[in-house]
Amino acid sequence: MFGLEIPLDHQSTHSLLYPFNEEHIVLENSISPLALGNLSGPSLFEHRIFTRPNQGPLVSLAMRILRSYPFMMLQKTALPPFISPLQSNWAETGVGPPQQSLLTCMGLVQLFKSRTDSNKNLVWRLIKLEQENIFSKHAAFDKWELLAAFQSLLVYCLLRLQEQPLGNDGFEAALLTTVNHVFNALASLAGGIRKMKLPDDPSVTWMDWVYNESRRRTVLIFQILNILIEISTEASSYPTCGFVLVPLANNASLWNADNTEEWRTEFVLCNKERKIHGLSQTGVLTKLQLADECVRLSKLSSLEWEEWRAEVGEIGTLVMIVGALL
């Protein structure tokens, strides 16, 4: 293991630890997002080229995992790793913040799963209508509605990996343009959590954490997609400071907490460590530990990779595959 201390000013430290605040983050060494009016052309959703012999099977495995996520929405026992159990419960019961975009998405995924040759064009037209609906209404959404819309758009991108819709010219460009608009609206409206403290009402804190972790994980999947296929958007652009993916997902024990008390117990332990993880441009899993006036970077060993995967759950497997591709 190696350790490296990097002095950072307040703005740089804040960018690393709280990547969703209202300030703009400088993108460095990244695949730049396409301008909103330029999302067009035959290259959208095309697979990127990997030339090393061992990369082909890894790319195929990563794509299979990603293509499975939409269908996981239809199972109560195994949700995709960017939709929290709390959100799923709200959608199912109608109690809690509105999740209409996710409810509509679940219905469209069910239609997509059962599609036939005779009706699959109709299914894609319905998906396009929902994309247009999100585009036209998202400016009036609150932060939870924006999150649900953002997650639904990711699901539609993942469905696009299954097959190319016929007779829907311009769908890919419209879909990614809508992703850009919703992502920017999220950043503008919701900002970020500047101080992770427990207020007097712990239930609010749990909801805030679920909200921000859901955004983090959704952006993470967009970024992974952009490594594998041409899907350059503002949501999928690579972050700064030599990292391809940062911050990575938090512990599964926090993500899957059944109630406020269970979550708070885990959160207090994790919050004391003041750390996040990132994947470098060379595929190295790195711990970023916040110390006084600096961030200490530590490369994780193979054993620590496995321990981290055990902590974060299934989404860690996808990150490990991407690391092997870099």
The full set of domain ranges for the chain reads 3-325
* Alpha carbons 236 and 221: distance in angstroms, whole number: 8
Q: What is the pTM of this model?
A: 0.86
Identify the pLDDT of residue 154: 98
* Alpha carbons 125 and 230: distance in angstroms, whole number: 22
Q: Which two tokens stand for residue 47?
A: 């697979």
* Alpha carbons 39 and 161: distance in angstroms, whole number: 17
Question: 3-state SS string over 185-251?
Answer: HHHHHHCCCCCCCCCCCHHHHHHHHHHHHHHHHHHHHHHHHHHHECCCCCCCCCCCCCEEECCCCCC
Kindly state the helix (H) or strand (E) to which residue 5 belongs, with its residue range: strand 3-7
CA 51 to chain centre: 26
> Which DSSP string corresponds to 132-199?
HHHHHHGGG--HHHHHHHHHHHHHHHHHHHH-PPSS-TTHHHHHHHHHHHHHHHHHHHH---S-----
CA 143 to chain centre: 16
The residue behind tokens 């949501």 is 235
Identify the pLDDT of residue 106: 95
What torsion, rounded to 10 degrees, do the Cα atoms 156, 162, 168, 173 define? 50
Name residue 37's amino acid. Answer: G
Identify the pLDDT of residue 240: 63
Kindly state the helix (H) or strand (E) to which residue 88 belongs, with its residue range: helix 85-93
Cα separations (Å) of 67 from 99, 225, 286? 22, 11, 27
Q: For the chain, give the number of residues.
A: 326
Per-residue pLDDT of the chain (326 residues; tens, 9 = 90+): 334 444 444 444 444 444 433 333 333 233 333 333 344 444 889 999 999 988 999 999 999 999 999 999 998 778 999 999 999 889 888 888 989 999 999 999 999 999 999 999 999 999 999 999 999 999 999 999 999 999 999 999 999 999 988 877 789 999 999 999 999 999 888 764 333 444 455 566 889 899 999 999 999 999 999 999 998 787 777 666 788 998 899 999 999 999 989 998 888 888 777 888 999 999 999 998 877 777 888 888 888 899 999 999 999 999 999 999 99
* Alpha carbons 222 and 68: distance in angstroms, whole number: 15
> Which DSSP string corresponds to 284-307?
-EEEEEEETTEEEEEEPPHHHHHH
